[in-house]
Amino acid sequence: MLNKNTQLPQPNAIDADYFIYCLEAVNDVETHTITAVQKDLTELTMQFGITSIYKTCDTIEGLEASLTTLLSDDHNFKDYEIIYLIIKGEANNICINDYCYSLQEIAELFEGRLQGKILHFSNAKVLDLDADEAQYFLDITGAKAVSGYGKPFNSITSSQLDKAFFNLFKEDDNMFDVVEELHQKYYSACKLLDFRLYY
């Protein structure tokens, strides 16, 4: 069962031409607490005027249902580019409530349905794919890229760098220019967290 969409405040959000879709894995979607991620997304709106849609999931079925709803039904919000995932996991998997799924399984779940999207993982999950794993995911889903971090969460959250990354995309939709500028402006953070982009 899913929470209702939580759309963070911004005038004329429906007309926004750029926004982030955020999906966070939690222990129980029935527990309605404000997470650190929701606070970060509110800051993103207040600082940069970037609208967010926030949902939670506590099962793989919940993850599939919420992404499917967004990808097929939410026509008001079709102009988004980034799906922001706050889900624990290791190099090539995600874990939801102690169940782990490989990115290959996730790719097959969303076969052909992520056309032109960038999946961005927070550093709640280490992202470490070999060339074949990354290519398989991109080929099967149609995603433009997968980004995230090579260093595990170790008291340093990636949220500030995530927000900078999203804001740069608002200014420039060329993925390579954005990544280059991110490294120029936030070199030490990119290095510390080991920012990665697979495309």
| pLDDT recorded at residue 75 | 53
* Average pLDDT score over residue span 142-168: 92
- Sequence spans of domains, the chain: 6-198
Q: pLDDT digits over 77-129, tens only? A: 556 789 999 999 988 999 999 899 999 999 999 899 898 899 999 999 999 99
- Bridge partners for 53 per DSSP: 7, 21
Query: CA-CA distance, 67 to 84, in Å (whole number)?
Result: 11
CA-closest candidate to residue 147, choices 19, 171, 156, 164: 164
Predicted confidence (pLDDT) at residue 3 exceeds the cutoff of 50: no
Task: Quick: pLDDT tens for 59-78.
Answer: 999 999 988 877 776 555 55
- Specify the pLDDT at position 99: 93
CATH code of the domain occupying 6-198: 3.40.50
pTM for the whole thing?
0.87
